[in-house]
Amino acid sequence: MIVLETKGLTKHYRVYQKQEGLWASLRGLMRREYRTIEAVRGIDLQVERGEFVAFLGPNGAGKTTTLKLLSGIITPTAGTARVLGHIPWKRENAYRRRFALVMGQKHQLWWDLPAADSFRLHQQIYGIERRQFEQTRDELTTILGVRHLLDRPVRELSLGERMKLELVAALLHRPEVLFLDEPTIGLDVVAQYSIQQFLKQYQQKYHTTILLTSHYMKDVAALCRRVIVIVAGQVVYDGSLSGIMHRFSRDKIVTVVLSDGRPAGELARFGEVVSTEWPRVKIRVPRPQVTEAIAGILHSHAVQDLSVEDPPLEEVIVEVFSHAELSPRQSSTGAGVAKGRENSP
């Protein structure tokens, strides 16, 4: 069952272009220059119930804007979207009771009060039945190990503890669709890991449809089968995480542990030597030449150990991002930025 569908979803912002210097500022009072930012440029998506989807992309690619469109905070310039049968930007309460948005940088819990109080308010504004409320609250706080923190004012908690409670608050009404915008931003590895594990468990149990943006590849690798790469407001890849490798990574990394004293420099003829920590040498070899290269290395060197791997995910992603930004499809409209000039309204 498709729970989320967009067609040609587009969002342009018009922002006031402030000029440098006093004179320009004064002139700006009379005549303003605007710049149109094409944050999202025609995104088509279909998400099935129970999918866990990650949005990847460099800063400013349009990931958060897409989540804002889907949660109804902003209205699109063009295109359509339906989530659970609702048009998000109509902001009907019927829709608002069925999804949740968690932004890693914004908090919704009352700062000076214990989280238990905020939870109680959520119970009422979402009309959650008491027994269900208590059960969900206890279950989620137990899994996340924050049950003992419920009665402490939120301001006294650490960022990680707070984020966990924010997540619980967002899940109390058992949303069918959950949007997570950088949920682990600024957290230490331990907190990141426990939130990852929690999301995984939760999603498996309740089959909630989750869309996540994150800069941490570990989040994505641990959680999402499906990855959507957005660059300059457009989808450049939609598929599995491992598929990114096949599609975008043209190289393999061959690691050789040498057992003779022959200089590693000679290995350069098989590919680019990435690192040398004697006797371990890493060579980047184009995919089609891997077999040939291995044969050559084994022939010319005494090898103790040899392995072939994909390059690190982060590296491939960076490559995907930069390629997409340079590809002719993107640059035809001026790298996502069009300039316009108008008089102030």
Partner 1 sequence: MKKTSRVAYNLWRRVQSWLTIFELSVQERLVYRGEFFLGALMRFLPIVTQILLWAAIFEAVGGVTQARIVGYSYRQMVAYYLLTMISRAFSSMPSLASGIARDIRDGNVKKFLVQPVDLLGFLLLHRVAHKVVYYVMALGPFFVIFYLCRGFFEGWPDGSVISAYILSLLLAFLLGFYLEATIGLVGFWFLEVSSLVFVFMLLNFFFSGHMFPLDMLPEPFRSLVALLPFQYLAYYPSAIFLGKVPAETVWLGVGVQGLWTLAAFVTARVVLYLGVRRYSGFGG
The CB-of-316 to partner 1 minimum distance in angstroms stands at 32
Q: In this complex, which beta carbon is closest to partner 1, that of residue 6 or of residue 196?
A: 6
Smallest gap from Cβ 105 to partner 1, in A, equals: 8
* Least distance CB 104 / partner 1 (angstroms): 13
Nearest CA to 162 out of 115, 214, 219, 216 is that of 115
Nearer to partner 1, 100 or 285 (CB): 100
Amino acid at 179: F
Q: Choose among 25, 21, 11, 98: nearest CA to 62.
A: 11
Starting at the edge strand found earlier in the chain, the sheet holding 52-56 runs 99-103, 177-181, 209-213, 52-56, 226-231, 234-240
Judge whether 63 and 213 are in contact, CB under 8 Å: yes
Distance CA 281, CA 72 (A): 52
Tokens in use for 116? 């238990």
Distances (CA, A) of 331 to 44, 79, 187, 234, 344: 20, 22, 36, 12, 29
Which tokens sit at 327? 């590809």
Give the residue with the Cβ less far from partner 1, 61 or 103.
103
Tell me whether residue 73 or residue 306 sits nearer to partner 1 (CB atom).
73
- For partner 1, the closer of residues 93 and 307 by Cβ is 93
Position 130, amino acid: R
- State the minimum distance, in angstroms, from the CB of residue 150 to partner 1: 15
Nearer CB in complex with partner 1: 113/150: 113
- Please give the residue ranges that form the binding site for partner 1 (CB under 8 A): 13-15, 68, 71-75, 89, 91, 93, 96-97, 100-101, 103, 106, 108, 110, 112-113, 117-118, 120-121, 124-127, 153
Give the residue with the Cβ less far from partner 1, 177 or 224: 177
For residue 9, the cross-strand partners are: 43
Asked if 142 and 174 touch (Cβ cutoff 8 Å), the reply is no
**Least CB distance from residue 129 to partner 1, whole Å?**
10
What is the SS3 assignment for 264?
Answer: helix
In the complex, what is the shortest distance from the CB of residue 15 to partner 1, in angstroms, rounded to a whole number? 8
CB of 99: closest distance to partner 1 in angstroms?
8
